[in-house]
Structures are given as structure tokens and as C-alpha cells.
Amino acid sequence: MANNNKVLLVKPRFRQSHYDAIGGPQQGLGYISEALSTSGIENRVLDMDLDYDHNRLVREIEEYGCRWIGLSLWTYRYRDVYALISDLKHQFPEKKIVVGGPHVSTFCEKVLEDCPDIDFGVVCEGEQTIVELCKGSYPFPEIKGLLFRDGQGGVHFSGHRPFNQDIDHIAFPRYQKFELDKYGKIISIVTSRGCPYKCIFCPISNTIGRPYRYRNAQSVGDEFEYWYKRGYRDFTISDDNFTLIKDRVYTICDELDKRQLRGINISLRNGIRADRVDRVLLKRMKEVGFAYIAFGVEGGNDRILKNLRKGETLADMERAIKDACELGFMVALFFLLGSPGETEQDVQDSLKLALKYPVYDVRFYNLIPFPGTELFDWVKKNNYFLMDPEKYVNDLLSDVSHWENEPIFETPEMSREKRKELFLKANQIAKWHTLPIKRKFHRVTVAKKFERFGLSGKPALLLADMYFSKSFQKGKHALSCIKDMMG
């Protein structure tokens, strides 16, 4: 019934974009759903990236009979979500529509001003705000972190809610309202929030804040063990700065070791800082299941690192990369292309660093200025944009992204044409450099999977070699059978 307090949480679909790839359930909605459930508020989740269209969403609203509709909102293609919201408001005028996410945290009142069909907005950490709103615990002006309307066309913001310093007491997402069987068999875990550094391209200060808040080792261990008991072995830690406090990482490693979570595989795909790890710490991490580490290198010399305000040196980068490779990690390096002041020679320095070590993966990313960052303001002030920012965050026909070779700004040091040329060249060279290393790692990984059938050592490696041979890969039936066998 429309007069209940049910909440339908919706992840909108991002058509024709890299957001289509499903790696796992969205953590933000997972935390919101868990907070609602813990507070006794009934909720359901619809992830439209699971190939659900507008008609399915409408049916879900009609059948569920919710009072509230909550949607995630990113700056990327936000006008698509505005259009979706307007359609929903037209069809269900009695429903209350709430939005949260990075776009809301960045632009606050402007979001409700631009889209009059949004009833409420939740800024930054939303667990407590959404619960207080749905319960009607306080008048709107007293619910911190809330954007609301006054009924006369005015939009108001109640003020920022202080960042939750004790995030141990925030229930981790168990995704009970998600269709978990439709995602990959990997779970992403957040052990901390915030990052105190001031890289000019990073929007984190506007979305989750610079103050560093972290969970204790027991809390992190509880979440790992929960999913371990449910059959999960592959994990990714998606913190913005997991290794900021080294002693904390040691205690987490000890906790995982104590719980005997054998056979787990942990990735740090968001990237960690090279200056916040050392060989001893990396060795301990490897012992308890950390296997994949990405370093956000960004630039190949100290001048570019300084321009980006990374707060790291090339010596930091080289030391950490060398140690991680020697310890047997799958190491990924992320570089930016198009940084302020960057020349072709600077890109050559980045490529030289990328090719120096036996790393698993190298990515050169098209640098995108996010609204609200120092980089965005710098590009705008100097009139370096090649297209209207509205276009690159909204145009359905645009291929603009970190992954595409389409610069959206140029600098005196590097033209659009030169950036496109270097992007293509750098990524192709990096691909051929890492290909044999990837094969080596995957050969060992596949060989280990045969251990469950009593095969190890040379016999398992021989089978792994057969698996990667061209003739075997062409045998679709055999390939399907062995994939099923290996799980």
C-alpha cells in the first residue's frame, strides 16, 4: 500500500557505458539497505544493470507498493537519471523520491533545483540520514545531511552531518535484498572511508571526505568470515587508502590468519599508495591471501607527480613496485595521460617505468576532470576544454571516459592529436609487455585449481598449458567442460 514505509532502492542503468559491466552488487546501496533493515524499515533493491528496463522498474514499484523510491546518482550521465525520475514522478506522483551518491554530495542544492521531481537528497554518508527521514524521526531541518523542499518552491539543506568516526558500528552489507546469484562470485569489502591527500584530480573530498575513518581488525575479520562461510573465496578491498596506517594492516592480516580463512584471494584494485607500504608489510599481506595490488603511479617523474600533488616520489614508486613484483604479487600500474604540464617526454618516462618491471597489468588512462576538483577548475579557468563539460558527462553518443581515446581538454604542452597518438601507443606497448606475464600468472592459477582433483606439480602445470593452447581454446565443448569442472 502507498501509505506504508517501504523503500525501493534503485541502481539506474548506465546504457552504452563501462558501468554496464557487472562485477558485484553496489556497495553504497548495500550499506543503505543494511541500515534500513537493521532499523526495521522494509526495503527491496532493483539493480537495473542486471538487464532490467524501465517497464520492469514500473512493475516493481506497482507490485511492491513502496512509499519511498531511492536512487543512486553519479555525475556521469546524471541527466539520464533526471529523466528517469521525471517519468517515475509522472506515473507515481504520490511516491517520495530520494537521491544520494557522489553527484548529490558534490552539487547539493543544485540537484533539487535542476530536477524538480526529486523530493529529497542525501549528502555524503547516508545511512543515518535515510533512516531518520523514512522514520520521520525529526523535522526535516533537524535531519543533518538532508536536502528538502519547503512546499513553496524553495530548496533547503539542513547542513552537513559530521562524518561518522566510529564506522565499526555501521553494519556491513549482507546484500540480502540483492539478487546475489546474478553477480560474479566476488565480494567487495570497505574497511575504511576517506583519504587525507589532495591529488588535484580526485573527487573524494566532495563525496566521502578527507578525514580517515577505519574499522578495527575484528570488524573486518567478521565480514570476511561471513562471506567465507557462504562459499566466497575471492575478495576485493575497495578502500580509497587501505594501507594508510601500516600497523592497522598488520592487525587485519593477523585477524585473517587467526580465523584460518584458507584459500582466499584478495585484490586491491582501487590502488594503494607506494609510500604507505614496505617490503615487510607486503610480505605479510601475501602470506594471508593478498594477491593483486594496483599502484596509482599517475606519472613517470617527480615533476608530474608534484604537479598532480600526489605527495609521493618516483623513488617511492620504484621501491614499492620492485618489492611487490619480487614477492610474487600480480601488480598493476595506473598512469594518467594529459596531466598539467605533461609533455611527450614525460609520457616516455611513464612508459619507461611501466616496462621496467614484470608487472601484471599497465593502464594509461585518459585524464577526466571531475566537477568539484582542482583539476576541473584549472582546466575551466584556462579555457582548455575541448567540449562542454555537460557533454562529456551526459551525451549518450559520446565515448568519453577514462578508457576511451577521446581527450576532453588539451594543454599548451600537449594537443588533442598528440594525446590521442600517445594514448594508443602507450597502451599497445603496455599490452604486449604484460601479455607473457599474464599467461604465467594464469597458468599457475589454473594449475592450482586442479589440486582439488588430486593433481599438483608438473601434471597440473601440463594440464594448464593444454588449457591455454590454441587448439584447446578452439574446442568449445572441451573448454566448456573444463570451465565447469574448475568452477
**pLDDT per position as a tens digit, 155-191:** 999 999 999 888 999 999 999 999 999 998 899 999 9
Q: Which three cell numbers stand for residue 437?
A: 606475464
pLDDT of residue 478: 45
Q: In what order do the strands lie in the sheet with 146-149?
A: 43-47, 7-11, 68-72, 96-100, 120-122, 146-149, 155-157
What are the boundaries of each domain within the chain?
7-157, 185-353+360-434, 454-486
pLDDT of residue 17: 42
Across 117-131, 255-269, 353-367, 435-449, least confident range: 435-449
Q: How far apart, in whole angstroms, are the C-alpha atoms of residue 41 and residue 460?
A: 51
Q: What is the CATH number of domain 7-157?
A: 3.40.50.280
Q: For residue 467, name the pLDDT band (cuts at 50, 70, 90).
A: low
397 and 362 in contact (C-beta within 8 Å)? no
- The average confidence (pLDDT) of the chain is 89
Q: How far apart, in whole angstroms, are the C-alpha atoms of residue 30 and residue 36?
A: 10
359 and 331 in contact (C-beta within 8 Å)? yes
Q: Angle at the Cα of 71 (from 68 to 75), degrees rounded to 5? A: 150
Q: Which three cell numbers stand for residue 72?
A: 543512486
Has residue 364 got a pLDDT over 90? yes
Has residue 473 got a pLDDT over 60? no
**pLDDT per position as a tens digit, 225-269:** 999 999 999 999 999 999 999 999 999 999 999 999 999 999 999
Q: For residue 485, name the pLDDT band (cuts at 50, 70, 90).
A: very low
Q: Which three cell numbers stand for residue 354?
A: 611501466
Q: How far apart, in whole angstroms, are the C-alpha atoms of residue 430 and residue 359?
A: 10
Domain 7-157 shares a fold with domain 185-353+360-434:
no
Residue with cell 616496462: 355
pLDDT of residue 23: 65
The answer to whether domain 185-353+360-434 has CATH 3.30.2130.30 is no
Question: For the chain, give me the number of helices (H) and strands (E)?
Answer: 19, 15
138 and 78 in contact (C-beta within 8 Å)? no
